[in-house]
Structure 1
Amino acid sequence: MTEIRLVGTAHVSQKSVEEVRSAIEEFQPDIVGVELDRGRFISLTQETAEPSVAEILKGGNFGQLLVQWVLTYIQQRIGAETGVKPGAEMIAAIEEAEAHQKPVALIDRDIRITLARFWGKMGIWEKIKLVGALIYSLVSVEGEKIDVDEFTDQDVVSAAMEEFRKFSPRGAQALIDERDAYLAHQVLMLTGRYERVLVVVGAGHIQGVQRYLDAPEMLPPLPTLTAGVKSLPWAKIIGAAVTLLFLLLIAAIAFSGVGIDVLLTALLYWIVINGVLSAVFALAAGGHPLSAATAFAVSWLTSLNPLLAAGWFAAIVEAKIRKPAIGDFRQIIAAETFSEMRRIPLFRVVLVAALTNVGSTLGTITYFLFIFPILGVDPMVVITDGFSNMLQMILGLF
């Protein structure tokens, strides 16, 4: 029968590094499983090729990419405060296993799958709260004394996990519960080949993994933990709805009899409101005036096309001007302050893309909220008369 020992760690704790080394020395496992996937293992142990700017722009997941970078930055800052590099306990486990000539198993789910499922499962409100929390963390992490070793205490960990579940239930499911199950699957695969298995995972996974090891029949099928998130393409649906709503609004104004000047004003304000807010947010991201001008020029059109985004065009112009270089990606990960991060050309390009899209979205919402007060007409009269006149015209054709 295989003997399994779980070691819970904090990812930026010297105490965890020492505990991992001691556990391997004392337990003498036949294999050491570590909470890493191949990509993170390579990034921790050797130089890796960076994605090109073209690949990043083509991916288009600017918000998700920013969240990933900010989370990495926060972890780096905590690591700097404690003097321990993030992932040091995993490196210690690998080095200690190699010193004892024992194999190492990478038992975590691919980080790209985890992030995609994490982002895909969260609702819009959860994403907004997450961004707000990250912005707050960027400020509060500076100079704040954190006792990282507390996060290997199971009571503290359990309380933190419960708070995260309240904050983002679906995010917690992808980031914690699914990975508990995936890690347990991988550990159970090792039990048939080795008598003594030592597993090094974050303290937040200890209870979940142990629960599945005690009752393997409760494990969800492995393929369900790695498949893409199946959900309605809300961005495209909302984009199509905006396009339809705008066209119906313009048609109602055109057929209501309020005059061509009101119709032209409505069209003009669609361009101005979308353009101004997109440009303002591009500039707020530190974008070049030409990038802001591009955002202004295209946002009225991209807001009507669910397949396009103003941020893409602004980012292309920003990339031409800032000229991100090989090495920017690594500099972002290693940045010691958020101000330093913002000065890196690649980060600036992605930030401009993300915030321009936010500005364009707010422009569309603002337009529909305030267009009738701006025009000085009664919306019920315009809509009722407009559609009534359209219906009469259509009936007249037959």
Structure 2
Amino acid sequence: MNDSSPDEGRVRVVGTAHVSQDSVREVEATIREAQPDMVAVELDEGRFRQLKGGTPDDIEARDLLRGNTVFQFIAYWMLSYVQSRMGDKFDVQPGADMLAAVETAEEEQIDVALVDRDIQTTIQRFWRRMGTMEKLRMAGDLAFGVADARGVGIIFGIVVGVFLGPLVGLYGDVVGITDFVLARAATGALLGAVSAYFIYAVAATTMDGDDALVAGVGGGAAVGLIGGVGLGLGSGLVTGVLGGLGTAIIGSLAIGVSVGIAAGLVVGTLLNVFGLFQAPEEMEEFDMSELTDGDVVSAMMEEFRRFSPGGAEALIDERDAYIAHQLVALRESGRDVVAIVGAGHKAGIERYLANPETLPPMESLVGVAEKDGFPWGKLVGYGITVVFVAFFALLAMAGVGNERLLTIFGAWFLINGVFTFGMAKLAGARWTSALVGGLVAWMTSINPLLAPGWFTGYVELRHTPVNVGDIGTLNKILSDEETPIVELVKELFDVPLFKLIMVVAAANIGSMIASFLFVTYVLPVIAADLGGVSGVTSLMLDGAANSADLIWSTLT
């Protein structure tokens, strides 16, 4: 209960665990006993409607082009999944406490106030506040179950490996990576992939789905290394089918990614050994009979904080202030209020209620969160666009003919379009969606602030509605520990939200791959008579010199 002047109302804050049956009973009893003027609940309009069985909000197609929409839903999905798993553990539906508060208030004919910030705003700010390292750590934990330096190292190694692969193809001969080595690496990668599939298929008939997957990946890696890389089994067939360029592409990417993962794992392990990377402590198993509601929710809050202190600020601290703003306004209007909030929010809200002058301005708690620090992403994005335009301008100034420039641009357009279209179609995109992504890929590749996946997803959403309710379906699928993982993946692709995420991601990945392949493999081939990469570089320098001379002569 909070002190107030005679003209003000009073606010009583009840902290609950969103997955606790005990909390449900406490909420019902408190409201019936207190008989307040209003019951305030930690819900926004969308979640309230969904909790009452209404239709969740659809994602608007135009919102996808604002950027980060899919990533925000991934973050929302992660948070919802953690809470859902806790609900399964304690045998109570997540949100049962809020539903009990609403239904009890309705039975007692008490008004209900929705005092939480819009979930889309919260998730958007949560994502924007996460640093790059925090996102890598989260990816490592979700993908490999490792959130310490090893998980970060593996994810970082994969990213570095994708960049390293094309360099291996271009300059590998300097360090002894010959065509023979590239052929063995490509053979090992393909033989390992095929072997992994067959080993998994056989193992799945007698083993648990996840165990069969481990057996498939481990067995495939062993066969690829020993049979493909070591003995060269099928090397002649691979080079004959793929040709020299295809073999070099697959082989160099396989070497780059393998080296990146290995180096990342080694560096991550060393950082852990020497204590240079503070790994978060593992969450302890919960026992509802031994923990209070506050303990459970606080533990879940700390789980989010270990991923991202900045993200937790948006997820927890900002919402404390937002909810407190709403409750202060209700109190000042003279109402007696019982506020039902998550136990992890109770202490922060009560501090603000006791000292409302410490509340941050409301305008700082809503809208788009700005990232702290220098906008390196935008700088790099604009820089790539400038480099692309300068590339053609300098070649033109060096005297390269229009026909050759059109050939180079056509190759850029084609490889971006084919890879973007193909990857989006593999992810299940409609023909029209994949085609739109392919047609704009050349443009979005020179402006990283855009992405072909946004356009592909935009068209996809015109035909397949996606809404927040899909997250509940995804949680049910992921909570199934009996179904083999391959079947689970098929079920996931039947959910519109998951399919949208995969389509957008696949289109973007296809464009990225195409861009690297163009610079490192395609350009040297189509510019072979110009001297390859080194020859084109020399021409660009000549073009820069000619441009400088022209500018100087014009000025003087």
**Which AA in structure 1 matches 2:14?**
V
* Distance across 1 between alignment mates of 2:73 and 2:437: 20
Alpha-carbon distance between aligned partners in 2 of 1:384 and 1:352, rounded to the nearest angstrom: 40
Match of 1:212 in 2: 352
Residue 122 of structure 2 is matched in structure 1 by 114
Q: Which range moves more in the overlay, 191-200 or 172-181?
A: 191-200
Q: CA deviation at 1:92?
A: 0.7
Quote the offset at 1:271 in angstroms. Answer: 3.9
Q: Per-residue displacement from partner, 1:4-34 (whole Å, max 9, x unpaired)?
A: 4332222233232223223334555443221
Tell me the equivalent position of 2:472: 333
- Find out whether 1:33 has 2:36 as its counterpart: no
Kindly report which structure 2 residues correspond to 1:252-291, keeping only aligned pairs within 5 A, or say none: 252-255=394-397, 267=409, 270-271=412-413, 274-275=416-417, 277-279=419-421, 281-283=423-425, 285-287=427-429, 291=433
**Is 2:46–2:56's contact at 8 Å kept on the other side of the alignment?**
no
1:287-328 deviations in whole A, cap 9, x for unaligned? 3577555544431122235675312443356567xx426x87
Aligned to 2:75: 67
Matched with 1:377 is 534
Residue aligned with 1:86, SS: coil
| 2:446 corresponds to | 304
The answer to whether structure 1 residue 357 and structure 2 residue 357 are counterparts is no
Output one character per residue of 1:237-284: Cα deviation in whole Å (capped at 9) or x when no partner. Answer: 654332111122333445557999996786466446644653464255
* 3-state SS of paired residue (2:92): coil
| Mapped partners of 2:375, 2:55: distance in 1 | 33
Q: Is the 8 A contact 1:32 1:199 kept in 2?
A: yes
One-letter amino acid matched to 1:67: A
1:6 alignment partner, SS class: strand
Q: 1:389 maps to what in 2?
A: 546
Matches within 5 A, 1:12-51: 12-25=19-32, 27-48=34-55, 50-51=57-58
Aligned partner (choices 1, 12, 35) of residue 5 of structure 1: 12
| Contact 1:9/1:152, CA 8 A, preserved across alignment | no
Counterpart in the other structure of 1:314? 456
Structure 1 residues 291 and 87, CA gap change in structure 2 (3 angstroms): same
The CA deviation string for residues 61-84 of structure 1, in whole angstroms up to 9 with x for no partner, is 333234334544554454345442
Aligned residues of 2:39 and 2:111 also touching (Cα < 8 A): yes
Alignment of 1:125-144 (within 5 A): 125-127=133-135, 129-130=137-138
Q: How far apart are the structure 2 equivalents of 1:68 and 1:387?
A: 49
CA distance 1:233–1:106, shift in 2 (3 Å): same
Counterpart of 1:333, as a letter, is G
CA distance in 1: counterparts of 2:509 and 2:17, whole angstroms: 35
CA deviation map 1:336-356 (0-9, x unaligned): 215434213454234312432
- Aligned pair count? 390
Larger Rg: 2
1:247 aligns with 2:389: yes
Q: Give the letter for the 2:307 counterpart.
A: F
Which residue identity is paired with 1:251? A
Contact 1:294 1:313 (8 Å CA) reproduced: yes
State the 1:131 CA deviation. 5.4
Q: Which residue of 2 aligns with 1:105?
A: 113
Q: Quote the residue 2:243 is aligned against.
A: none
* Distance change >3 Å, CA 195–CA 332, structure 1 → 2: closer
For structure 2, the 5+ residue unaligned runs are 5-9, 146-208, 211-283, 479-488, 526-531
Describe the shift of the 1:303–1:388 C-alpha distance in structure 2 as closer, same or farther (beyond 3 A).
same
Distance change in 2, residues 1:35/1:245 (3 Å) = same
Q: Give me the TM-score of the superposition, normalised by structure 2.
A: 0.57
Please state how far the C-alpha of 1:106 moved relative to its aligned partner.
1.7
Query: 2-11 or 152-161: which moved more?
Result: 152-161
Aligned to 2:164: none
Q: Match for residue 175 of structure 1?
A: 315
The aligned residue for residue 162 of structure 2 is none
Deviations 1:211-247 (A, max 9, x none): 2223222111223222443569877665433211112
Q: CA deviation at 1:91?
A: 0.6
Structure 2 residue identity aligned to 1:12: V
User: C-alpha displacement at 1:372, in angstroms?
Assistant: 8.3
- Give, in whole Å, the separation in 2 of the partners of 1:368 and 1:162: 45
